[in-house]
Amino acid sequence: MSGLDKPQSTPDDPNAGAGKVRSRASRSQPAQAWFGSLGQLDFDVDFFEKVLARSPHSIEVLRILAELVSKKGLLSRAVDLDRRLVDLLPDDFLARYNLACSLARAGRSDEAIDALSRSILLGYDDIDHMETDPDLESIRTHPDFLALLGE
């Protein structure tokens, strides 16, 4: 085949049939600009939101996404995801504990203490962790929290 007969794209080329073949640099620039504008946490949240849309009842995806949005400070979204986990796993003390943490961070003290109390009733017993968990800082001096710790 002569240089004049050489096709401009191959069947697996993402630009095949586009009419004009762009250089590799110009093809990747929009993707790099988009990705470069995101931090790793943003990228991870976006990724797991898309996975959750495809698998809305995936326990692992819900757990991971709830943790990620909490780290990002999207506290209302974290509470929603943790509530979904509790709905799917009503007897899971860790799901209830995580809900308590999200509620406490969102400033919803009474609901946080209720979720924490239920977590303890279901078997959560790491008192040392509850005393130092930064997610529970907002309720640490609440009388009902102190009562749960036996103080």
DSSP-derived secondary structure for 46-73: HHHHHHHHH-TT-HHHHHHHHHHHHHHT
115: in domain? yes
How would residue 41 be classed by pLDDT, with cut points 50, 70 and 90?
confident
Give the N- to C-terminal CA distance of the chain in Å, as an integer.
86
74: in domain? yes
16: in domain? no
Q: How far apart are CA 80 and CA 13, in angstroms?
A: 42
CATH classification at residue 57: 1.25.40.10
122: in domain? yes
21: in domain? no
Compute the chain's Rg from CA coordinates: 24
Total number of domains constituting the chain: 1
9: in domain? no
57: in domain? yes
Structure token digits, residue 114: 């209720």
Lowest-pLDDT range of 8-17, 74-83, 99-108, 131-140: 8-17
**Per-residue model confidence as pLDDT tens digits over 69-116:** 999 999 999 999 999 999 999 999 999 999 999 999 999 999 999 999
36: in domain? yes
**Domain limits for position 52:** 29-148
